[in-house]
């Protein structure tokens, strides 16, 4: 550790290099935890093991830093802008399978952000200029033959890991004079490899350490023809896993190799649907999976919506892949995997509009697996199922990743080039995503294709939606007459359909057209009707938009006091569904409201906060409301003066996103838990209070772990403790309690 600390002082990039199972992650996390305190903006952990698509490496970093790629900027631009003036340490863990993309990303980060330091873990260096490579050795081994005093032996790294894991596995293991020789022999035979030691330690549930050492020795002798020479480390790890694998039942062996199908976390339901066939009935899957968890071959992960999740260690996933290939089950499993996620996403699609919070939580849990399914479709040139899958999670792309969605749609539509049966819905989504990037010119041809395809297919529901969206695009592009023609056609068609998506799309298009036409009465009437309709349907995404339009119509009509309730209601909902671009819009508009009502200091702070939130989400104000922000800024500068305005603007710009939202919503700080003050954390410990605040910000356990530099399992433990202390049953209750003035 001291050597690594000295290396980081003079180097901006340090790569920890070594074979799988040697403990690179362990060393990287320890180093970042220790060294992160010396960085003003802390240390951040980015886990890349679950990223199968190199194009998503930057997205993984954004997610770990709680940033979003949206609207008008690329993921790398959002990241570079965020890091430019920050002083932090970034740990990129498990880069080997995306080594080129990782190297490109690190090079761009180091170029754009002079005060950022990077640690990577991989099986090979990034091969960048200025890279300092540190070979990661295994754990220190105890001297051969034993004989050391027990207190000294207990301080040995390998022995310490074995005793900790054995005690956790069996509940009563202890290093003694009687078993120390066997422990030393075992650790030395395993070459100090952490994963191999952990797999051996779990066997203390049923065997003595002497029996484990004897059986492991026999196994190695068998595999090496009886030779006693020291084995290469990677061979040692493979043999240790082989030994654990051979002790499994046939059903456990079958399930283990099939679990490599999943790219990230998975649930029991996922496993039952994808992995079961001749391995036994689906209802027995839980028992088999529990056996693999008990044997430490599968890790139990965080709970999401009170549903247990699991994952495979990276090395175990690689091992399972080899076993799957040997069993000739790859094609069968790929088909089961792809069809499961396609049908599951299609079945859940209706929840996106009417129960979005529940739906978004599910998609965020499964997104790595869904991305892998999309990749499988691309690899097989299966554009039909790929488009079905991509469109079924359209609302995830809208609120979480517009740039990524465009890449998927462009790839699938390119694969479908020349086909006459491309769904109109695919063209509609592609045009919609361009509009999210404020690129109406790019959106128009896609939307007209959607109109044509829907008309040809007789899909009146889709035709109505596409006409309304195309009207919005024409208004954004400045052709208001074309917008009116499209709107009239949609208006004639939609009432006969009795179809909510078409109805809300038409209302939104009418509201926007009214703003461009300066008909504020019509804009307010359409927006109010849209708010009523979307609230009744549970469609929180459109409810945010409609409430924002109601507020804007009121402000522009001179009803300044009447506008704020709509803005505040919209912002609360945007916080609830974690719609970052909408949060940016509403912070900006509330800054405009504050400036209009003589609250110049608050206006400056909110405008500064909005700029920070927008830069982290790649968002920007577009359309007829852009001049309003310039007016608000000019008015605040006129009252405060340039220097004081800049000071207040900078103060707002330094706020965290949740702090900015509380400022905009006028939420009292009195009586709240202050996570920075150990004396004011109420019933929660300081770390629990920090976790609770991040839950209130809408972060997942993985994101909280990256922010606080602790494992997801540790975060899950803190969440359980918080729930127990507060007597709650859900994360939303924690978030509400943290936001309450009486907490």
> What does 684-705 look like in DSSP terms, one character per residue?
S-HHHHHHHHHHHTT--HHHHH
- Reported as a single tens digit per residue, the pLDDT across 221-250 is 433 333 333 335 545 667 777 877 888 899
Lay out the sheet containing 43-47: strands in order across.
43-47, 88-93, 116-122, 13-17, 131-135
pLDDT of residue 418: 84
**Where is 302: in which H helix or E strand?**
strand 299-304
Choose among 164, 301, 168: nearest CA to 717: 301
pLDDT at 521 exceeding the cut of 60: yes
Per residue, the 3-state secondary structure of 550-590, as one string, reads HHHHHHHCCCHHHHHHHHHHHHHHHHHCCCHHHHHHHHHHH
Q: State the burial class of residue 417 (Cβ atoms within 10 Å of its Cβ: 0-12, 13-18, 19+).
A: exposed
152-161 contacts, C-beta under 8 A, 24 or more apart: 153/180, 153/184, 156/187, 157/192, 158/187, 158/190, 158/192, 158/197, 159/183, 159/184, 159/187, 161/194, 161/197, 161/198, 161/201
Give the CA radius of gyration of the chain: 28
pLDDT of residue 278: 58
Position 416 confidence tier, pLDDT thresholds 50, 70, 90? very high
Position 740 confidence tier, pLDDT thresholds 50, 70, 90? low
pLDDT at 398 exceeding the cut of 50: yes
Q: What is the rounded distance in angstroms from the CA atom of residue 717 to the CA atom of residue 711?
A: 10
Q: What is the rounded distance in angstroms from the CA atom of residue 589 to the CA atom of residue 607?
A: 9
Domain boundaries, the chain: 2-135, 150-246, 432-664, 686-739
Report the DSSP beta bridge partners of residue 266. Answer: 310
What CATH number does the domain located at 2-135 have?
A: 3.40.50.300
Percentage of the chain modeled with pLDDT above 90: 46
Q: What is the rounded distance in angstroms from the CA atom of residue 225 to the CA atom of residue 187?
A: 21
Q: Which residues of 187-220 are buried (b: 16+ CB within 10 A; e: fewer)?
A: bbbbbbbbbbbbbbbbbbeeeebeebbeebeebb
**Where is 432: in which H helix or E strand?**
helix 424-436
DSSP assignment letter at 115 = T
More confident residue, 546 or 49: 546
CATH 3.40.50.720 correct for 432-664? no
Q: State the burial class of residue 533 (Cβ atoms within 10 Å of its Cβ: 0-12, 13-18, 19+).
A: middle
Choose among 132, 136, 120, 190: nearest CA to 161: 190
pLDDT of residue 229: 36
Q: What is the rounded distance in angstroms from the CA atom of residue 435 to the CA atom of residue 437?
A: 5
Q: What is the rounded distance in angstroms from the CA atom of residue 437 to the CA atom of residue 517?
A: 23
pLDDT at 520 exceeding the cut of 60: yes
How many CB atoms lie under 10 A from the CB of residue 668? 10
- Reported as a single tens digit per residue, the pLDDT across 119-163 is 999 888 899 999 998 888 778 889 887 678 888 898 898 999 999
CATH 1.10.10.10 correct for 686-739? yes
Q: What is the rounded distance in angstroms from the CA atom of residue 571 to the CA atom of residue 569?
A: 6
Q: What is the rounded distance in angstroms from the CA atom of residue 450 to the CA atom of residue 333?
A: 35
Q: What is the rounded distance in angstroms from the CA atom of residue 29 to the CA atom of residue 92?
A: 10
Mean pLDDT across 509-515: 96
pLDDT at 459 exceeding the cut of 70: yes
- Reported as a single tens digit per residue, the pLDDT across 648-672 is 999 999 888 888 999 999 875 433 4
Percentage of the chain modeled with pLDDT above 70: 88
pLDDT of residue 680: 42
Position 682 confidence tier, pLDDT thresholds 50, 70, 90? low
More confident residue, 214 or 733: 214
């Amino acid at each position: 550790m001291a050597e690594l600390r000295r290396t980081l002082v003079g180097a901006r990039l340090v790569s920890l290099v070594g074979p799988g199972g040697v403990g690179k992650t362990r060393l990287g996390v320890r180093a970042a935890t220790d060294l992160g305190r010396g960085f003003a903006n802390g240390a951040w952990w980015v886990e890349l093991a679950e990223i199968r698509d190199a194009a998503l490496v930057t997205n993984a970093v954004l997610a770990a830093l709680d940033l979003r790629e949206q609207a008008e900027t690329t993921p790398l631009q959002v990241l570079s802008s965020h890091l430019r003036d920050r002083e932090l340490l970034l740990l990129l863990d498990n880069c080997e399978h995306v080594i080129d993309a990782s190297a490109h990303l690190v090079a761009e980060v180091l170029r754009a952000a002079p005060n950022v330091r990077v640690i990577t873990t991989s099986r090979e260096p990034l091969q960048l200029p200025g890279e300092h490579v540190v070979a990661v050795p295994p754990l220190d081994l105890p001297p051969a033959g034993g004989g050391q005093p027990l207190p000294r032996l207990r301080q040995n790294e390998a022995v310490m890991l074995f005793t900790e894991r054995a005690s956790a596995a069996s509940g009563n293991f202890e290093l003694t004079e009687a078993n120390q020789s066997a422990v030393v022999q075992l650790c030395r035979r395993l070459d100090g490899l952490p994963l191999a030691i952990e797999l051996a330690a779990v066997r203390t549930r049923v065997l003595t350490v002497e029996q484990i050492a004897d059986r492991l020795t026999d196994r190695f002798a068998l595999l090496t023809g009886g030779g006693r020479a020291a084995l290469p480390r990677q061979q040692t790890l493979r043999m240790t896993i082989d030994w654990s694998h051979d002790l499994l039942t046939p059903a456990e062996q079958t399930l283990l190799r099939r679990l490599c199908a999943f790219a990230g976390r998975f649930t029991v339901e996922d496993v039952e649907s994808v992995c079961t066939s001749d391995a036994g009935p689906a209802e027995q899957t839980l028992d088999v999976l529990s056996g693999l968890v008990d044997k430490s071959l599968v890790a139990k992960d965080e709970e999401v919506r009170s549903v247990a999740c699991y994952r495979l260690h990276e090395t175990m996933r690689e091992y399972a892949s080899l076993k799957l290939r040997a069993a000739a089950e790859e094609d069968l499993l790929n088909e089961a995997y792809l069809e499961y996620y396609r049908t599951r996403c299609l079945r859940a699609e209706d929840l996106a509009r009417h129960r979005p919070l529940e739906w978004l939580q599910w998609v965020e849990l499964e997104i790595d697996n869904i991305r892998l399914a999309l990749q499988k479709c691309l690899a097989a040139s299966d554009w039909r199922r790929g488009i079905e899958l991509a469109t079924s999670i359209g609302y995830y792309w809208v609120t979480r990743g517009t740039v990524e969605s465009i890449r998927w749609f462009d790839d699938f539509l390119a694969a479908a080039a020349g086909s006459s049966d491309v769904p109109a819905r695919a063209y509609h989504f592609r045009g919609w995503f361009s509009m999210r990037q404020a690129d109406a010119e790019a959106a128009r041809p896609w939307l007209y294709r959607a109109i044509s395809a829907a008309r040809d297919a007789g899909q009146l529901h889709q035709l109505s939606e596409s006409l309304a969206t195309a009207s919005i695009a024409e208004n954004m592009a400045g052709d208001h007459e074309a917008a009116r023609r499209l709107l009239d056609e949609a208006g004639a068609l939609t009432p006969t359909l009795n179809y909510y998506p078409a109805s809300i799309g038409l209302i939104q298009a009418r509201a926007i057209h009214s703003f461009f036409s300066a008909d504020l009465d019509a804009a307010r009437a359409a927006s109010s009707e849209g708010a009523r309709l979307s609230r009744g349907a549970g469609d929180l995404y459109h409810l945010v938009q409609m409430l924002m339009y109601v507020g804007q119509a009121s402000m522009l009509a001179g009803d300044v006091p009447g506008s704020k309730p709509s803005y505040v209601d919209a912002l609360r909902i945007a916080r609830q569904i974690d719609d970052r671009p909408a949060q940016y819009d509403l912070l900006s508009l509330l800054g405009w409201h504050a400036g209009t009502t003589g609250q110049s200091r608050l206006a400056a702070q909110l405008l500064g906060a909005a700029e920070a939130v927008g830069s982290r989400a790649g968002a920007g104000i577009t359309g007829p409301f852009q001049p309003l922000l310039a007016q608000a800024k000019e008015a605040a500068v006129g009252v405060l003066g340039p220097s004081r305005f800049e000071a207040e603007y900078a103060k707002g710009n330094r706020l965290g996103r949740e702090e900015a939202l509380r400022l905009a919503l006028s939420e009292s700080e009195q009586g709240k838990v202050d996570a920075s003050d150990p004396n004011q954390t109420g019933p929660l410990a300081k770390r629990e209070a920090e976790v609770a605040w991040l839950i209130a910000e809408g972060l997942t356990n993985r994101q909280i772990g990256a922010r606080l530099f602790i494992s997801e399992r540790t975060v899950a433990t803190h969440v359980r403790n918080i729930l127990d202390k507060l007597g709650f049953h859900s994360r939303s209750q924690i978030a509400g309690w943290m936001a309450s003035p009486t907490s």
